[in-house]
Amino acid sequence: MNWLTIARRDFTDARRSKILALAIGLFVALVAVVLGTSSTSGPDASENALWTIHGIAIWLMPIVILVIGYLSIAGERETGRIKYLLGLPNTRWEVILGKFLSRSVVSVLAVVLSMGIGGILLLALYPSFPVGKLAAMTAAMAVFAVVYTAIAVGVSALTASRARAMGSVIGIYVFFTVYWIVPQVNPINSISYVVENLLGLPEQENLYEFIFHLSPSFAYSRLVNGTIFERVENGATLPGTDAPFYLQEWFMPFILLGWVVLMLGVGYLRFRDAELG
């Protein structure tokens, strides 16, 4: 058994446990509710509806994806099945890679199916059908899902129990989504206070913006808002074309890729040396 076999088996287990059905159901409900309740009049109605889906997905998708993946390895360790996986034999890296692949497939399938249904609703209910924006948004959401899958699997590899894995993913969700926009204490305000008030240094606007976009949710938001919808995002200013390269839309995928590499790498290093009991 190698990483691909592990992925196939884990995907089958996820399907049997209704994880795939749950993810699809939640994403389809999001798309259907937004498209069914948004205004269908006006030349920009369909684009506005897609933008609303994007805005809600920033909050809903991370928690759903984290739930899909947080037990991928920690659950196996808690039940003792991890010894069976490693005794076939498989390397610990193959286990992580297989789990990441299978949970990514689950997440991407949920995104693609829900947006496919969204396309049908757009075609049936709205005066225009922005096929380009729909396709681009679907691809961006799929990438976003893969990023949070890597975070979930990485956390699962770092922890040895269901409770620790759950607490960790909840903490990540709250920190990188909720805290990121809380007035007065969000990263921009917190870092600016340290830099300007405590250290007495001049304003470092580019630094504040870069730190803000280190959140995978808001790096994704910056990418989608700037490239697909060409709108200003809430919570941070939209840098102009003369901004440093690390604040440009094209750099956001590198931040997202960095999260994938970081979480899978750190998770592997911890899992590689873990005592499995």
Question: Domain limits of the chain?
Answer: 3-181+213-272
- Size of the chain, expressed as the number of residues it contains: 277
Q: Name the phi and psi angles at 199, rounded to 5.
A: -95, -15
Beta strands in 85-210 (DSSP E): none
- Select the highest-mean-pLDDT range: 9-23, 91-105, 180-194: 91-105
As a 3-state breakdown, the chain gives helix, strand, coil percent values, each rounded to 5, of 75, 0, 25
pLDDT tens-digit map of 69-96: 999 999 988 888 888 888 777 889 999 9
The 8-class DSSP code of residue 213 comes to T
Determine whether 215 is exposed, middle or buried from the number of CB atoms within 10 Å of its CB (0-12, 13-18, 19+).
buried
pLDDT tens-digit map of 100-130: 999 999 999 999 999 999 999 999 999 888 9
Question: Angle at CA 19, nearest 5°, toward 100 and 274?
Answer: 40
Give me the pLDDT at residue 80, please: 84
